[in-house]
Structures are given as structure tokens and as C-alpha cells.
Amino acid sequence: MGNYKILTVNPGSTSTKIALFQGDEKIFSVNVSHDAQVLSQYTDQESQLPYRMETIRNALAENNVDLNGLAACVGRGGGLLAMEGGVYEVTELVLQHSLHAANGVIHPAGLGPSIARAFADEYGVPAFAVNPPDVDELQDVARITGIKGVYRNVHLHALNLKETAIRHAASEGKRYEDCNFIVCHIGGGVSVSAHQKGRMIDGYDIVGGEGPMAPTRCGAVPVAEFIEYMEGKSAKELRALTTRSGGFVSHLGTSDALEVQQMIADGNTYAALVWEAFIYQIAKGIGAMAAVLKGRVDAILLGGGIVHNKELVEKLKEDCGFIAPVYAYPGEFEMEAMASGAARVLDGLEAPKVYTGIKVFQGFE
């Protein structure tokens, strides 16, 4: 990897993560806070941009960060239509679709390409988005459901999942494209995915009510029971169960895994059961992905914030170690992943892709 200076940007609901890399080294990082009351005054995400840019620039100035010599800028890309994985140039179409949530999912990550492009234009360098949230590399057989015309899509932590796989393969002296992995992200959301020779061929739609439950997400539920549960409730309430008010929040009133652990330590037997079910569902999802890969699995990789919990890691090793060796990568590599993607393009190891705005899957004839 060349000694490139690369700026990475990852916007969240009330903050924006900024990191500056020089080669493999992160030389500066900060989580820039944005006043929630100020943000609430804006009618849409696009109108937040000038305020977010101002606070980001102020933070960089306060820390005497020198951006001269930049080689590229990378922004987290939300709001885009389903595409295959890779590094994408931030074109006008990317800006338009990410700002206005072409995929219907409004998330601050959609501001990433615009912020990155603003800095890139200022310094005369390229802007990229790396493995956006709507990466879709499903094999056709994985798309079919039991209802004609209703097809499976995926929303996963694609950036961290793929970077974890790339890093683990490199640690073994191999290429991601030559390996089969089951990769999990276990944090506020839980992604379980099957990676075959560099493509994420199956995984769960974590914003559509699939897969294991998560701290804020319901995961898969029985449809007939859910129809009864729906009576008297609004569509907005029900949709929230898939992203904000399901999982730990529904059962225990908190999304904080540490709080759940404290409940268990204090003798809350129901919290202990929910925690056990949480791990059980992840293990079951891993088993399903092992079947997708026909048992040919080089490793099971665990990433995300909750992987700091050693008990969870040991339990998943106990439950799934018969499939393949289990490795823990606590936390996330999102900022590193963005910088690494840009560096691969700058090194000529990977060609940048052009976002077409056309979903990779258009249905079956």
C-alpha cells in the first residue's frame, strides 16, 4: 500500500467520524459532534450539509490538521440503489441518489459522499465510496421466497464485513478472493453473511426483519403471530421494530449490551434468557451460512462492538467451532476499510467502479 494521505468521513445521526490516514497509519481521528437541536431545525438531510461542513472544518482547524497533500477522500455511502461490492467514484449520480435516499432508507451515511466530494474538489483529488450499505451480491437461488414476486434483498454491514474478511485472509497469506468465510458483525445491528471467493453470496436483510435479533432490531419473527400482533398498531410502529425498538429494546427496555450484562449479574433471569437467545440465533444463522457454502468454510469471523464480550465469543466458538475455526475481531474497521479501498485504487490493484443507479437485481423473467 502506497504512503497515501487519505481522508475518510462517516456521518452518524448527531456526529460525523473523521479520520486521516498516511499509508496504513491513522494519524488523526475525531468524532465531530453536531448539536441535535440545530439538526432538528433542518427539514431534510441535504439542508444539514453546510452546518455539518462548518463543524467538521472547525474541528480540523482546532486540531491543526493539515490536509495538504491529500491523495483521495472517501465518504460512507448510504441511500444508494443495490450494487455489487467495490470502490465507487463519487459522481453526480452518486451525490444525487445518496442525498435523496434513492433506496428509500434515509440515514446520515447518505451525506458521506457529499462531504467527501467537497473536500476532494477543494484539494483536486478523487472522491470515493467503498462497499456502501446496499452491496448486493446474492446468488439467484438466495433471492426466492415462498411468495411469487416477493424477493429477498440484503442490507448488511458490508463495509466492515468485507474489510474483516480481507484482513483475515491477508493474515493467513491469502487473498479474500480465494477464500470462503462466514462473517458476522455483532453490534447495534447484527449481520451474518456467507462470502464465497470474494463475493457476499448470502446474508440477512437486517432492516427488513431477517436473521438474528439485535439490540434494536427484531430479526426474523413468525408471520402468523406477527399479523395478530399488528392489530391496532401503525405501520410506523411496526417498521420501527426492524430498526429501533425491537430486540433488547423490546424485551428489556435498553439497547446497551453492557446494561443487559449488568441485569444478568443482578439476577435478572429473563435478561439471561434473552441474552442466551441472542447468541443462539447468531449461531443458528452461522449454521445456515455454512450450508450455503456447502460446508467448505475457511473461517468464521466475528466483528463489531459486542465481540468485546469474551463470553459471547467463547459461546460461539463452542457452538460453531465444529464448522471452522472462529476468530474474533472486536470493534470495527469502517474508517480503515474506506482508506484501504481508496489505496487499492490508487495503487492500481483495483479499478474504480461507476455507479449506474440501476439495481443489480431487476427480478426474474
Q: What is the mean pLDDT of residues 100-114?
A: 90
Q: Does residue 146 belong to any structural domain of this protein?
A: no
Judge if 118 and 223 occupy the same domain. Answer: no
Report angle CA 178, 182, 184 to the nearest 5 degrees. 130
Q: Does residue 273 belong to any structural domain of this protein?
A: yes
Judge if 91 and 167 occupy the same domain. Answer: no
Q: Does residue 256 belong to any structural domain of this protein?
A: yes
Comparing 39 with 199, which gets the higher pLDDT? 199
Judge if 64 and 177 occupy the same domain. Answer: no
Q: What is the mean pLDDT of residues 248-257?
A: 96
Q: How confident is the model at residue 73 (pLDDT cuts 50, 70, 90)?
A: very high
Number of separate domains in the chain? 2
Judge if 116 and 163 occupy the same domain. Answer: no
Is residue 365 pLDDT above 80, yes or no?
no
Judge if 215 and 267 occupy the same domain. Answer: yes
Q: Does residue 144 belong to any structural domain of this protein?
A: no
Task: For 301-319, give one letter per residue: b (16+ CB within 10 A) or e.
Answer: bbbbbbbebeebbebbbeb
Judge if 206 and 324 occupy the same domain. Answer: yes
Rounded Cα distance between 126 and 165, Å, is 26
Judge if 34 and 114 occupy the same domain. Answer: yes
What is the SS3 assignment for 197?
coil
Q: pLDDT above 90 covers what percent of the chain?
A: 87
Is residue 104 pLDDT above 90, yes or no?
no
Q: Does residue 353 belong to any structural domain of this protein?
A: no
Show the domain range for 283: 158-331
Q: Does residue 153 belong to any structural domain of this protein?
A: no
Q: What is the mean pLDDT of residues 189-215?
A: 95
pLDDT in tens, 289-334: 999 999 999 999 999 999 999 999 999 999 999 999 999 999 989 9
Q: How confident is the model at residue 23 (pLDDT cuts 50, 70, 90)?
A: very high
Is residue 1 pLDDT above 70, yes or no?
no
Judge if 296 and 341 occupy the same domain. Answer: no
Read off the CATH number of the domain in which 236 is found.
3.30.420.40
